[in-house]
Amino acid sequence: MSTRWLELQPEEPLLLGQVKADTNFLSSLTYIPGRLIRGAWADWLIAQGRASQIVPTVQPMQVGNFFPTMKWRSARYVSSFLLSMLTCKRESGFCSEPNKAHRGHGVVDTLVPHLAYFLLKQAGAHFPVPFTATCPVCQGRMEPESGFYTVFNDGKEKRYVRTREQYHSQTRVALSRFRRTASEGMLYSATAVSPKTDKPDGTGPTDLVFVGRVSGPDDSVDELLVALETTAIGAMRTRGYGRIKVTEVKMELDPLFARFQEFNDSLVTLWQDLKRLATNAAALPEQPDGRYFSLDLLAPSIFRDKSLSTLVPTLEVNDKVLQSVFWIARPDFAAGWSDAWGLPKPTALAARMGSVYVFRWDGSEDELIAVLQRLETDGVGERRDESFGECWICHPFHQEVNEQ
């Protein structure tokens, strides 16, 4: 088993689901769910006369979601925004954007400061003021950002760039399934993601690409690459939508153990900074008890507690049950469409993409890291084969407690 990063480059507009009932407007998701990749692979196997091999071939593979970015510099990683990331309400956006027209007052992650404040309160700290985050430039309110961003290498600097998709819209005439002619008074508009966008520095157009990871046997990944080169994805594939080109890429995501250590080092630093603000600082410990890690969702995730839907997961680490000690989550719905059934898939309550959970660990770090590595590869929650539950452990942006 190996994990490989792939880059999908659209050669035609992409219409990626999100069709609403009783409407003449077809819209698209702005990222490629992994279930669409698995579905395209299954279509290719059927076309090859290998329908009986779909389950044993596709089922062992873990196909993640593919997030949009731009062809520009080499990228460290591509990610969705997390709910713990805040930006100025007046001038939103990264202050390191290469295009001055897109620069905002910065984006900062508040998870580690929030966690340090929360743990200090549990330890008996008394603060003269409540915890709040304001823009350091204009002192205004801050709010969560949505969408996707990329960390680029620009010389010796890191550039945080928000992905700005462009769209391709067409109005078409609906056809009658009975008469095979145009239906009177029936028009619909399809708004798809364009294969082109602007360069981050504003110097001209460039290609929009989608980056994600797949895990499985090497021969199966090689076969997936061949299948995607000859099979379109998404909706309206027979009408000029969905053709893509696939290449392998390398991401510079730090190893999980390094991210785990950096997360706890940042927590100790923020603990000591906030401790000095407490009125009873002398009575507080120098650092928090135990070790902590975050579980960061890169896809909607379905969790259950005793068969009831919940927004907060429970983890098992070698027969030890871990409950989340702190979280930032929002509700969402997990749904989909089955081409094989010709019916919608069951709709379930899910935690929104970008939700963040923190867990405490008191045992061996080596034992924990091995389990977390499997979680990061396999995902969490239910219906992981439909690309729900993809996650990272100790997301690298949690270390960015200064505005980027």
pLDDT averaged over every residue in the chain: 89
Residue 404 pLDDT exceeds 70: no
Q: pLDDT tens, 23-53?
A: 677 788 899 999 899 988 988 999 899 888 8
User: Hey, what domains does the chain have and what are their CATH numbers?
Assistant: 2-102+149-249 (3.30.70), 107-144+254-399 (2.60.40.4350)
Task: Report d(CA 254, CA 74) in Å as an integer.
Answer: 15
Q: Answer whether 0.75 is exceeded by the pTM.
A: yes
Residue 242 pLDDT exceeds 80: yes
The residue-averaged pLDDT of 142-161 equals 90
Q: pLDDT tens, 47-87?
A: 899 888 888 888 888 999 999 999 998 999 999 999 999 99
The residue-averaged pLDDT of 196-212 equals 92
Cα dihedral 98, 32, 80, 347 sign: positive
How confident is residue 401, by pLDDT bands cut at 50, 70 and 90? low
pLDDT at 23: 64
How confident is residue 178, by pLDDT bands cut at 50, 70 and 90? confident
Q: Annotate 263-298 with b (16+ C-beta within 10 A) or e (fewer).
A: bbebbeebbeebbeebeeeeebeeebeebbbbbbbb
pLDDT at 18: 61
Q: pLDDT tens, 346-400?
A: 888 999 999 999 999 998 888 899 999 999 999 999 999 888 999 999 999 998 7
Distance, CA of 60 to chain centre: 22
Q: Are 22 and 228 in contact (CB under 8 A)?
A: no
Q: What percent of the chain lies above the pLDDT cut of 90?
A: 54
pLDDT at 5: 94
In the sheet that 391-393 helps form, which strands lie side by side, from edge to edge? 314-317, 320-328, 356-361, 291-297, 391-393
Q: Are 216 and 1 in contact (CB under 8 A)?
A: yes
pLDDT at 237: 81
